[in-house]
Structure 1
Amino acid sequence: MRTFDVAPLYRSTIGYDRLFDMLDHSTRPDWPPYNIVKKGDNEYCISMAVAGFSPSDISLTQTGTQLLVEGTKRKQPEAYEVLHQGIASRDFKQTFNLADHVKVVSADIENGLLMIDFVREVPEALKPRKIEISQTRMEGGAEPKQLKQSDEPVAKAA
Structure 2
Amino acid sequence: MSRLTTFNSPLLLGFDHFERVLDRISKTSPEGYPPYNIEQVDDSRLRITLAVAGFAMSDLSVAIEDNQLVIRGRQADDGAERVFIHRGIGARQFQRAFVLAEGIEVEGASLERGLLHVDLYRRQPETRVRTVAIRVPAGEEG
Q: TM-score, normalised by structure 1?
A: 0.59
Deviation at 1:75, TM superposition (A): 1.7
Whether the 8 Å CA contact 2:25–2:99 is kept in 1: the answer is no
Pairwise CA distance, 1:58: 0.7
Give the CA deviation at 1:103.
1.1
How many residues in Structure 1 have an aligned counterpart in Structure 2? Answer: 109
8 Å contact from structure 1 (residues 65, 102) kept in 2? no
Q: Which runs of 5+ in 2 are unaligned?
A: 1-20, 129-142
Let me know the Cα RMSD of the aligned residues: 2.6
SS in 1 for 2:58: helix
For the residues of structure 2 that align with 1:22 and 1:35, how far apart are their CA atoms?
18
Largest Rg, 1 or 2: 1
- After superposition, the C-alpha distances for 1:18-66 in whole angstroms (9 at most, x for unaligned) are 988755545x322111000000111000110111111111111112421
Q: 2:61 aligns with which of 49, 59, 70?
A: 59
Kept after mapping to 2: 8 A contact 1:103/1:118: yes
Q: 1:86 to 1:41 in 2, by over 3 A?
A: same
One-letter code aligned to 1:90: R
Q: Which amino acid aligns with 2:77?
A: K
Could you list the structure 1 runs, at least 4 aligned residues long, displaced by more than 4 angstroms after superposition.
Answer: 18-24
Look up the equivalent residue of 2:127 and give its one-letter code: P
1:39 is paired with a residue of what secondary structure?
strand
Give the deviation of 1:69 after TM superposition. 0.5
Q: Is the 8 A contact 2:59 2:73 kept in 1?
A: yes
Q: Give 1:128's aligned amino acid.
A: T
Greater per-residue helix proportion: 1
- Taking only the aligned residue pairs, the percentage that are identical comes to 34
In structure 1, the partner of 2:112 is 110
Distance 1:98 1:81 in 2: 43
Higher RCO (CA-CA < 8 Å; seq separation 6+) = 2
Which residues of 2 match residues 4-153 of structure 1 at below 5 A?
22-23=25-26, 25=28, 28-76=30-78, 78-122=80-124, 126-128=125-127
Distance 2:66 2:28 in 1: 21
Q: Which has the higher strand share?
A: 2
